[in-house]
Structure 1
Amino acid sequence: MKKLDITKYKADFMQKFAFDFKQWMSPAIRDYYSLFLKNAHYKRAHLLSWVKEYSVLENGRSVKVAQKPIQVSSEARELYLCLQSRIGDEVHVGEWLTISQNCVDQFANVTRDHQWLHNDVERAEKESPFKTTIAHGFLTLSLLPYLTDSVDASRPAYANAKMTVNYGLNQVRFPYPVKTGSVIRAHSRLIKVSPIKRGLEIEKEISVEIQGTRRPGCVAVSVVRVYF
């Protein structure tokens, strides 16, 4: 068997083994396993970013490859240094918010998603394993700007910024359903800050806590770009 074929066989085998192993786990352990893999991937990504900055010479020595520096303003530099000292810290805990049936119904009307699990209270009480209606996962996700206090114009997170842009989300998942009537709040942990042209790119892991429930309703990495 060719070397390439052996590599592909090993990769397919490991992928199938990992899938079967996760199916065997309980939901709670599966969440911890996913978190472990995510942290391992995060550390590997940091290692790879370090490796890309170096080249190996013939004698085995490694030297840093010169890269064109990114010019940032004094405001961006000041914020960068401040945030770098807080990498890994929980930087924000939001206020509690009650998810009412009216809120779920309004979201269903906007998105045209009227599944009975979300909107049919009587049927959910009889047939749903949760014995009540539940919020759409995307409803919880769409509330992140409010839950993280990112929409209050009177209290901007980055006062000196000219513009703040929601650049995207990474690794979104919904570990536990948010039942109608639940009270939720968001916890934000700073995980990465990178200089970009005219500003900074900031990544935070946001976990939506459900009051009285151990598992979160949503976990996502928010990517925001701040321009000065």
Structure 2
Amino acid sequence: MNKLTIGSLAELEQHVGQELGVSPYLTITQAQINQFAAATLDNQWIHTDPARAAAESPFGTTIAHGYLTLAILPYLWHEIATIQNLKMQVNYEIEALRFNQAVTVDSAVRLRANMLSVTNLRGIAKTRIGVTLEIEGQKKPAYTGIITFLYHFQ
């Protein structure tokens, strides 16, 4: 996969209406799930108790927190694109996020990103990016939505 490199607002605008790329797969481990549970105080057994999840969960195993799968979005986005010449990047908005399918432990996920729009806000680039978190071997994605970043170029 060729990582996209963008260095200006004008370069961002050239990608409107295009698929920007797909990240490499990332495997979600039980250790990650447990660390996320500890950080967010969300220790529900469906995430953190493999034995109980195997016995009682409809998934037959533990699942990642939906918000864990969302929290890895910036990492996966940076696997797709490098935005250079920045003073600052701001996570601005999430629209129309829909969790479609649970991500079971040890599943591999990847991000697919499409540039929906770029707006020039007095030199700040407001980008709306359509995102889909795909699960390896599954037809239904973990989630779909629109993420908005503000890029303050130098």
Check if 1:135 corresponds to 2:68: no
- Residue in structure 1 matching 2:34, options 105, 122, 145: 105
Task: Measure how far apart 1:214 and its partner are.
Answer: 0.5
What is the SS of the residue equivalent to 2:37? helix
Provide the rounded CA distance (Å) in 1 between the counterparts of 2:81 and 2:45.
38
Check if 1:124 corresponds to 2:40: no
Structure 2 residue aligned with 1:166: 91
Which is strand-richer, 1 or 2? Answer: 2
Which is helix-richer, 1 or 2? Answer: 1
Question: Higher Cα Rg: structure 1 or 2?
Answer: 1
Task: Measure how far apart 1:194 and its partner are.
Answer: 0.5
Structure 2 residue aligned with 1:223: 148
Which structure would you say has the larger RCO, counting Cα contacts within 8 Å and 6 or more residues apart? 2
Provide the rounded CA distance (Å) in 2 between the counterparts of 1:148 and 1:88.
17
TM-score, normalization: structure 2? Answer: 0.88
TM-score, normalization: structure 1? Answer: 0.61
Provide the rounded CA distance (Å) in 1 between the counterparts of 2:42 and 2:136.
26
Structure 2 residue aligned with 1:186: 111
- Which amino acid in structure 2 is aligned with residue 101 of structure 1? Q
Task: Measure how far apart 1:218 and its partner are.
Answer: 1.6
Structure 2 unmatched ranges of 5 or more? 1-6
RMSD over equivalenced CA pairs, Å: 1.8
Q: Note if contact 1:92-1:148 (Cα within 8 Å) is conserved in structure 2.
A: no
Structure 1 unmatched ranges of 5 or more? 1-74
Structure 1 residue aligned with 2:3: none
Provide the rounded CA distance (Å) in 2 between the counterparts of 1:146 and 1:186.
10
Provide the rounded CA distance (Å) in 2 between the counterparts of 1:177 and 1:217.
6
Task: Measure how far apart 1:156 and its partner are.
Answer: 7.3
Provide the rounded CA distance (Å) in 1 between the counterparts of 2:66 and 2:81.
27
Provide the rounded CA distance (Å) in 2 between the counterparts of 1:157 and 1:196.
21
Task: Measure how far apart 1:169 and its partner are.
Answer: 1.0
What is the SS of the residue equivalent to 1:149? helix
What is the SS of the residue equivalent to 1:103? helix
Distance 1:85 1:156, change over 3 A: closer
Task: Measure how far apart 1:161 and its partner are.
Answer: 2.3
Task: Measure how far apart 1:107 and its partner are.
Answer: 0.2
Task: Measure how far apart 1:182 and its partner are.
Answer: 0.2
